[in-house]
Amino acid sequence: MSIETSMDERRWVRACAVGEIPAGGGRQVTIDGVEIAVFRTSAGKIFAVVDRCPHKGGVLSEGIVAGERVVCPMHGWQIELQSGSAVAPDKGCVSKFPVDVRGEHVYLDVTPSDSSVVPEGALTSRRPIVCDHEAPLLEVTRASERVVALSADDLRARYAVRDVPTYVTTMMFGFSRPVQWSGVRLCDVLEDVGGDALGATVTLHAGGTERALSRRHAIDPRTMLVFEMNGAPLAPEHGGPLRLVAPFLAGHESVKRLARIELCGAAISEPVLSAPVARKESA
Please give the residue ranges that form the binding site for ligand FES (CB under 6 A): 53, 55-58, 72, 74-77
Residue closer to ligand FES (CB basis): 53 or 213: 53
> Which of 192, 189, 193, 134 lies closest to 161, judged by CA?
189
Q: What's the min distance (Å) between Cβ of 71 and ligand FES?
A: 8
Shorter beta-carbon distance to ligand FES: residue 80 or 188: 80
Instruction: Report the residue number, 73 or 194, with the smaller CB distance to ligand FES.
Output: 73
Burial 71-107 (b: 16+ CB within 10 A, else e): bbbbebbbbbbeebbbeeebeeebbbbbbeeeeeebb
Of 57 and 231, CB closest to ligand FES: 57
In angstroms, give the least distance from the CB of 93 to ligand FES.
13
Contact criterion met (CB below 8 Å) for 164 and 140:
no
| Minimum CB distance to ligand FES, residue 86 (Å) | 8
Could you tell me the smallest distance in angstroms from the CB atom of residue 59 to ligand FES?
9
Q: How far is 250 from 91, CA to CA, in rounded Å?
A: 39
Of the pair 57, 98, the CB lying nearest ligand FES is at 57
Q: Answer positive or negative: Cα dihedral of 36, 233, 278, 181.
A: negative
Taking the least distance from each CB to ligand FES, the nearer of 50 and 53 is: 53
Pick the closer one to ligand FES by CB: 57 or 136.
57
Q: How far is the CB of 56 from ligand FES (least distance, A)?
A: 4
| Residue 55: CB minimum distance to ligand FES, A | 3
Q: Least distance in Å: CB of 2 to ligand FES?
A: 28
